[in-house]
Amino acid sequence: MTNQYNPYISRVQIKNFRNFLDLDVKLDHKQVVLGENNVGKTNFLRAIQLILDRDFSDQDRTLTEKDFHDSLEDPMINGDEIEITIQIRGYEHSNKLLAQFDDAAVDSDPPTLQFRYKFFPERNDKEQIVRYTYAIYKGNGENKKFSHDDRNYINIHVIKALRDVERDLRAGKGSTLYQLVKTYDISKEDLEEISAEMQDAADKILELDEIVHIKEALQSRFNTLSGLQADTEISLQTFDVDTERLLYALQVYMGLEKRPISELSLGLANILYISLMLLLLKDRTVTPVLKDERYAELEALEGSGVLAESYEKSESGKFILKDQIAPEQYKALYEFMDENNYKFQAFTILAVEEPEAHLHPLLQRLIYREVLHKSGTSVIFTSHSTFITSVSPLNYIVHIRKVGDGSQAFSTVELGLSDWDKKDIERYVDAKRGEIYFGKLIILVEGIAEEYIIPAAADKLGTPFDDYGVIVCNVNSTNFKPYIQLLETLEIPWVLFTDGDYYRKVTLTVDGKIKTTREYHRMHEDGDVVGYAGKENVGGILLDLGIIVDIPDSFSDQDDIFKANGCFVGEYTMEVDMFKKMDANGLGTIKKIYKELTNGGARKLKNFNNALDGEDYWGALSKIEASISKGRFAQRLASEMTVDMIPGYVSEGIAEAIKIVKEQYE
């Protein structure tokens, strides 16, 4: 069905509130807020609720000393203030919002509203603090106050992590389903007709012989007891079918067996609840079902041509909105209805804390796909589920993390990646279950061998990655650039390891033409004209991203500047660099592993050992690739690692990574 996108929060600024000392983050229409426990995901929502939640009382909005950021000493004696500013975009399609929030506009391109909450000291004319109070302002300045009436038009609904969905789903006046039904404005006559029929049907019970017998027995017993008192005739009735009760008695059942909610798994009930919420929060400016009289009224108005194209008459004579409507037509229809069909319309932003609660991973993914891609309601999720992050579009991520004293949020809204790169990373993130978002530092590597060896090296060096929250991401190529962009945007620190890919330039004469080619996979010899494909790649990326402005000529200067920017480049390829560094002991280990993993004969082993002993490391590596595979080999080597085996650039890079994490958290 065609959707109208509801307004959304496009920016949040928080000062001095709980986890947040000074936060400024841009948001999109759908937003997944990630972060470890205790960094302030819930407080981030709470900040927004202070302004937008209709269920908050005056008392809820009046903060206390505890609500100030911990780093502030005696905040309410020193006159510190808590300030929360949110901006809203995507509202200009609604005349009601334009009129209601004229005073709140702070920008016209794109149209942007601003609301600002302030918890501040009121002072007397001697500038002494008299009391603390809160105020919410619209727009710039402090002359226009935000009122509860404003909250009727834009607000937020938070579904908490600990929720009792069963209660909300159960039939009754408070049920979500009933609220949804009420938005449809069902005609009283229709209901009365049905209730009369139900009454008739139920009355048939009274004609059952058994019931008649009961009635008579009762009557005769009663008569003997009450003597001659008048008007004591007993009659039996079924029930009085209240029309309204017909509606709130509606319940959802599931499956062929029509299981009631109470028998559903918590997970399914959650899905059901969130689906109902999303339906409830849909923009109803375009009414999905119109009664015939109303349709006729609207049809008589100017510009109503769009109605006929958009509605079809149902069998009962009502007009039902068609499923498929072209976007331009929907826009015209929306404008027409917004202008002529006055309906109260609240625009609610839905926030769901930990939607993964009680959900099977597969269902988590499904619900996310549904909501993030299809819903017209603006939704904010908070989560630490990797299943959810892994299906989040790249631009919808807000990452909350401790930086120094306070928590900071980093968002991907303005991440400038090509569609191809974006798709690549999304697929990667999906496959890796979103782990890239959860590291305190990310190590980018190009292949499976590094993925095994580098954490093992860190263990041997006495700095296990798990202890420091370092995560190794194997991007399976040397296309590091989009990943670096993503990490830089989220301000997640990173370190990169890549092969040097040494080559020699050779000049040949082919058919009388001079050609220069590169020869890889060979060891350095004096007199070679050399280059490093790995360094060229890294230099290009850093230059492109504006991280460095110039690449020095000498290779050692290049190494210095790369390292200073977190890039550690080897010489040949990692295994070769390792072999080259090993003593006889180390090489012995390699030979042992080779032996264990191949089922070849003595001759094959001898050839391999000869290659190693003869310093033909490339030859040895190609034998490993041919009969074991680099991955399997690295996996085994990882468990037999010793410090001596670790190539210089790897140990340097690990040390740097650990240093960064330590600095960040001290």
Partner 1 sequence: MNSNFYHDLALIKKDDKQFEAYKSMANTVIIAGPGSGKTRVLSLKAMALSKIHIHEPSGLACISFSRESVRELESRLKSYGYVSNKRDFIGTVHGFSLVHVIQPFAHLYPQYQVKYPIKIIDSENQQKIYNTVLQEMGVKDPKELPLIALNRCRALSLEGMSGVTINSTKIIQQAASRFEELLIESEYLDFTSIINLSATLIREQEFVRKSLGSKFPWLLVDEYQDLGKPLHEMVLELTFNAGIKLYAVGDVNQSIYGFTGGYPDFLEELKNNDDINLVELEANYRSSPHIIEASLGTLQLKSPLPNYSSKNFTDEAADFVFVTCKEDMDDQYRTVSQKIIPKLIEKGVSLNEIGIIVGSNQNAVEMAQSLQRNEIPFFIAKWNFENSDVLIWLQKCAKWCVEREQISFEELFHFWKKLLYMHKDDRRFLPDIELKVKLHKVLTKSATKTIVFDWCVFLIDQLNIRQTLADSELYPDEIKNIDILLDEARLRNLKDAKLSRFANLRTPNNEVTISTRHSCKGLEFEVVIMLGMEDGKFPYYLHKDDEIALAEDSRLCYVCVSRAKKTCILLYSSIYNVYSHKYNKHYRYDQSPSPFWSILHQNFGTNDNTFSQDSFQ
* Contacting residues toward partner 1, per CB under 8 A: 95-96, 98-100, 102-103, 122-125, 127, 130, 139-140, 142-145, 149, 153, 342, 344
121/373 Cα distance (integer angstroms):
44
- Cβ count within 10 A of residue 622: 13
CB 445 within 8 A of CB 472: yes
Type of residue found at 188: K
Residue written as token pair 């996996």: 635
Q: Of 149 and 525, which CB lies nearer to partner 1 in the complex structure?
A: 149
At residue 528, what is the residue type? D
Give me the least distance between CB of 144 and partner 1, in Å please.
5
Q: To the nearest whole angstrom, how small is the minimum distance from the Cβ of residue 403 to partner 1?
A: 32
- How many Cα atoms occupy the beta-carbon half-sphere of 360 within 13 Å? 6
Q: Which is nearer to partner 1, 139 or 539 (CB)?
A: 139
CB nearer to partner 1: give 346 or 655.
Answer: 346
Both structure tokens of 117? 């909450």
630-639 vs 574-581: helix crossing angle, rounded to 10: 40
Helices (H), 186-208: 188-203
Cβ proximity to partner 1, 110 vs 588, nearer residue: 110
The rounded distance, in Å, linking the Cα atoms of 396 and 345 is 26
Nearest approach in angstroms of CB 149 to partner 1 is: 8
Peptide bond into 110 cis (omega under 30): yes
Q: Please, which residue, 102 or 557, has the CB nearer to partner 1?
A: 102
Nearer to partner 1, 101 or 273 (CB): 101
Q: How far apart are CA 658 and CA 59, in angstroms?
A: 46
In whole angstroms, the minimum distance from the beta carbon of 152 to partner 1 comes to 9
Token pair 């009557």 is at which residue?
Answer: 219
User: Would you say 142 or 200 has its CB closer to partner 1?
Assistant: 142
Q: How far is CA 350 from the centre of its chain?
A: 13
Identity of the residue, 100 or 408, whose beta carbon is nearer to partner 1 in the bound complex: 100
Q: Please give the Cα distance from 102 to 525 (Å, whole number).
A: 75
Would you say 270 or 285 has its CB closer to partner 1? 285
Residue (102 or 263) nearer to partner 1, CB: 102
The least CB distance from residue 91 to partner 1, in Å, is 13
**597, β-bridge pairs:** none
CB 243 within 8 A of CB 199: no
Per DSSP bridges, beta strands 441-445 and 494-498 are parallel
- Angle, alpha carbons 426-429-431 (nearest 5°): 110
For residues 95 and 585, which CB has a smaller minimum distance to partner 1 in the complex? 95
Report, in Å, the least distance between residue 125 CB and partner 1.
Answer: 5
Least Cβ distance, residue 279 to partner 1 (angstroms): 23
CB of 142 to partner 1, least distance (A): 6
- Cα separation, 545 vs 538, in Å, equals 11
C-beta of 3: minimal distance to partner 1 in Å? Answer: 23
Q: Mention every residue, 6+ apart, whose C-beta is less than 8 A from residue 245.
A: none
Q: How far is the CB of 479 from partner 1 (least distance, A)?
A: 48
- Report d(CA 310, CA 331) in Å as an integer: 11
CA 443 to chain centre: 22
The CB-of-103 to partner 1 minimum distance in angstroms stands at 5
As to burial, measured by CB atoms within 10 angstroms (0-12 exposed, 13-18 middle, 19+ buried), residue 197 is exposed
Amino acid at 174: G
Burial of 627 (0-12, 13-18, 19+ CB in 10 A): middle
Three-state DSSP class for residue 270: helix
The DSSP output letter for 5 is P
Contacts of 17 (CB under 8 A, 6+ apart): 43, 47, 63, 67, 68, 69, 82, 83, 84
Pairing outcome for strands 379-383 and 30-34: parallel
What HEC string does 84-130 produce? EEEEEECCCCCHHHHHHCHHHEEEECCEEEEEEEEEEEEECCCCCEE
Residue 345 CB, shortest distance to partner 1, in Å, is 9
Question: At its nearest, how many Å lie between partner 1 and the CB of residue 121?
Answer: 11
Nearer to partner 1, 338 or 501 (CB): 338
Q: How far is the CB of 331 from partner 1 (least distance, A)?
A: 18
Yes or no: say if 368 and 376 are a contact pair by the CB < 8 Å rule: no
- Closer Cβ to partner 1, 98 or 413, answer by number: 98
CB of 342 to partner 1, least distance (A): 5
Which phi and psi angles does 399 have, rounded to 5°?
-115, 115
Query: 146 vs 503, which CB is nearer to partner 1?
Result: 146
Beta carbon of residue 145, minimum distance to partner 1 (angstroms, whole number): 6
Q: Which of 72, 41, 73, 47 is nearest to 60 (CA)?
A: 47
Per-residue exposure over 519-529, b if at least 16 CB sit within 10 Å of its own CB, e if not = eeeeeeeeeee
Whose structure tokens read 């033909």?
616
User: Of 103 and 430, which has the nearer Cβ to partner 1?
Assistant: 103
Looking at the Cβ atoms of 145 and 505, the one nearer to partner 1 is: 145
